[in-house]
Amino acid sequence: MGFAEDFLWGAATSAAQVEGGFEMDGRSPSIWDVAPKEKIANGENCHDSAMQRTHYQEDVAIMKKMGLKAYRFSISWSRVMPKPHFVSRKGIQYYSDLVDELLKAGIEPLVTLYHWDLPLWAYELDGWESEALVPHFVEYVETVVTALSDRVRYWITFNEPSCFLMNGYMQGVHAPFKRKYLSLPRITRVFMLCNKAAVEAIRNNAILSPKVGLSFAFGVYLPEVKRDKASEEAAYIKSFSKQMGVMNNAWFLKPILEGKKVRAYGIYHTKGKPAVEYQVKFDFIAINVYSAFDYGSYGGNPHIDRSKVKYDAIGNAIDGDSLYYAVKFLYRRYHLPILVSENGMAADKEKVEDGHVHDSYRTDYIKEYLSSLKKAVNEGNEVIGYCHWSLLDNFEWAEGYRTRFGLIYVDWQSKERTIKDSFYEYSKIIAENGRSL
């Protein structure tokens, strides 16, 4: 069976992590641009990062060389709308030029509208804590869709709401670095309203018939006994109803896809409102998958011998079954096409040697996870694409620049690009459509 001939073999980035040029085009700061130095490793910032803003033509040429069929990138709200009700012509022109360059190279643009970088001006209007954000977000979405939808078909409304809401407003480990646990119902409601309004804005304004989804940070619990039906069933149920299965998965999936409310931490996020108010119809579900919940500190499997587990540089356990079961469980529940919008591994101490970066560990990772993905596809689960995280080495949020995720090495001083060995291996997989996996 294998992957479909039109399978979207891709790579992904986000604006705040690779774009740089933080003051170009009249752009105003996002909450990540003003992050306190003590909150980011080594006091670093995202102001320049990989400078894709000025290197986008070079990057697209490299993508074409790789044979990519799709590129997932995000729009910087601050670049398009540096202040309320004002559109930067230069800002929107940059994204139009990027889309043109991708299409000229035969690469499908997959546009994410929000990938964590809330404009500072929107944050100062109370951001995700105020429903006043909704009309501002809708105005932004309409602006982008009107400008690009004559060429863009795939739209992802948000990236990982569980992360930017909970890490940013509850755990205080990501911008805006708040620790306000009681804000959870309120910030969830504002996000849900923005998401539904964004979907409606896309469908009402798009020129090309749109395909709309959302990238969830989706995880699962693995069966404790492999190839055992009862164990697999228990893992499926737990993945939507227990511990992280509730907080990370059901808290967002059930209201959006089922119109049902969820209780966690003793509270309902609907605050008396009907959950059906948040329900939308997606054309696909996008998921970002790195590791299974079993390896986590909260709700993890105590029986795992962690001395035998491989981890990447930021502590994600490497286990291809994480992706296999994520696809299998999600498709079983919702029967919507799945886009793997992120999957990859962090490494440290990578360097260029004789013009090469030898990252055999990343090659092994790609083969392991893609083999698991192919297994899920062969079992009848509909997967429309896979985007490796990341195309380029990037600003990794609070981790700064001390780890590298890219298929392409970036010299942080010169911004010179060097293709890694894993790039060539992924290119081979794309060329033969995964047949040898």
Residues with catalytic function = 160, 342
Question: Three-class SS of residue 74?
Answer: strand
DSSP 134: H
CB 59 within 8 A of CB 392: yes
- Cβ–Cβ under 8 Å, residues 52 and 390: no
Query: What distance in Å separates the CA atoms of residue 437 and residue 434, rounded to the nearest whole number?
Result: 6
Q: What are the beta bridge partners of residue 311?
A: 317
Neighbours of 123 (CB within 10 A): 18
The residues that bridge with 409 in the sheet, in sequence order, are 418
Q: Where are the alpha helices (DSSP H) in 248-320?
A: 251-253
Sign of CA dihedral 36, 39, 43, 49: negative
- Give helix 184-205 / helix 133-148 axis angle, nearest 10°: 30
Q: Report the distance separating Cα 40 and Cα 37, nearest Å.
A: 6
Query: DSSP H helical segments within 67-112, as ranges?
Result: 77-80, 89-104
d(CA 79, CA 160): 21
Cα–Cα distance for residue pair 156/212, rounded to 1 Å: 6
What does residue 162 show for φ and ψ, rounded to 5 degrees?
-60, -30
User: In terms of DSSP bridges, do strands 408-410 and 417-419 run parallel, antiparallel, or are they unpaired?
Assistant: antiparallel
* Centroid of chain to Cα 317: 18
DSSP class of 37 = G
Beta strands in 281-404 (DSSP E): 285-288, 338-342, 383-389
The pairing of beta strand 211-217 with beta strand 154-159: parallel
Tokens of 384: 């429309």
Length of the chain, please? Answer: 437
Alpha carbon 341 to chain centroid distance?
6
71 pairs with which residues across the strands?
A: 11, 109
